[in-house]
Amino acid sequence: MAGSHGIYLKSAAELAIMRKGGLMLEQVLQEVAAAAVEGTTTAELDRIAFSRIKAMKAKPAFKGLYGFPATLCTSFNEEVVHGIPGKRKLQVGDILSIDCGLIYNGFYADSAITVAVGEISAEARRLMDVTFESLWKGIHAAQPGGRVSDIGAAIEEHVRAAGFHPTDNYTGHGVGRQLHEEPKVFNSALPRGPRLVPGMTLAVEPMINIGTSAAVELSDGWTVVTKDRSLSAHFEHTIAITQTGVEVLTCSNPR
Ligand code: MG
Ligand code: MG
């Protein structure tokens, strides 16, 4: 059903499909995370994700979208988002953001995690923890009758209190029949955005940096890095606004 602001509201039947796809995606990310150990290449992680998605009779969402070549976006350390899987091996001390999407029965699910390879610095650990916490603060701030910006305000408040920075110009988004639908879900208190109403499905995805909010794209035309090359972390879930609150479609064990 078309809502206001070009937002497509999902029916109960559509939400049931998205819930199923969301839990498939959770499984894929868990398997990829388990394989993200020292010496593994990101291309290997990508193959695992591709074959798991195929085995589930779903489709990878990113491959071919806007010309992206892979199933996963894999972003190391100072890379914020959209890193392309390849021959680079994971090394102890790295943090790696792994973003994956799939299409199940015509509907998209979108989720991302950041994993640590072996022992990482205390600062990297704190960035990961704060980013993860900010995702859940944003999710719980999403209530029917509120505003989309309630999500971003909760994320930004938590991140700024820790001395970190949401990445400029990269946002979450509506998700459903398309990977990227209206509205944009900013990781900041402004702009205010439309009202949250039941049936809205959103990808909430704080992309948080240690040193700066500024990010630049590398010459590969995809990989986004922090301008000061400080570390960046990323967590994402697909959520649905319900009559009474919020449901996390890509997580079987919500906080
Ligand atoms: Mg994503
Ligand atoms: Mg997304």
Domain membership of residue 254 (yes or no) is: no
Q: What is the largest CA-CA distance in the chain?
A: 49
Model pLDDT for residues 207-231, shown as the tens digit of each residue: 999 999 999 999 999 999 999 999 9
Q: What is the pLDDT of residue 169?
A: 96
Q: Is residue 242 part of a domain?
A: yes
Going from the Cα of 6 to the center of ligand 2, the distance in angstroms, rounded, reads 18
In a domain, 73, yes or no: yes
Confirm whether 170 is domain-assigned: yes
* Domains identified in the chain, total number: 1
Report CA(82)–ligand 1 centroid distance (Å).
9
pLDDT band at 6 (very low <50, low <70, confident <90, very high): confident
- Mean pLDDT within 9-17: 98
Task: Look up the domain containing 99 and give its range.
Answer: 4-248
Look up the CATH number of the domain holding residue 63.
3.90.230.10
Ligand 1 center to 98 CA (angstroms)? 8
Residue 192 lies in a domain: yes
How close is the Cα of 115 to the center of ligand 1, in Å? 15
List b or e across 151-177, with b for residues whose CB sees 16 or more CB atoms inside 10 angstroms: bbbbbbbbbeebebbbbeebbbbbbbe
In the reported structure, the alpha carbon of residue 173 is separated from the centroid of ligand 2 by a whole-number distance in angstroms of: 6
Ligand 1 centroid–CA 205 distance in Å is 7
> Which ligand does the CA of 173 lie closest to?
2
The 10s digit of each residue's pLDDT in 26-38 is 999 999 999 999 9
What type of residue sits at position 211?
G
- Could you tell me if 74 and 82 are in contact, meaning their C-beta atoms sit under 8 angstroms apart? no
Identify whether 255 is part of a domain: no
- Ligand 2 mean position to 44 CA, how many Å? 22
Query: For residue 231, with 0-12 CB atoms within 10 Å meaning exposed, 13-18 middle and 19 or more buried, which class applies?
Result: buried
Beta bridge partners of 59: 103
32 C-alpha vs ligand 1 centroid, how far in Å? 15
Give the pLDDT band of residue 105 (cuts 50, 70, 90): very high
Residue 241 domain-assigned (yes or no): yes
Measured distance between the N- and C-terminal CA atoms of the chain, rounded to whole angstroms: 30
**Inside any domain, residue 253:** no
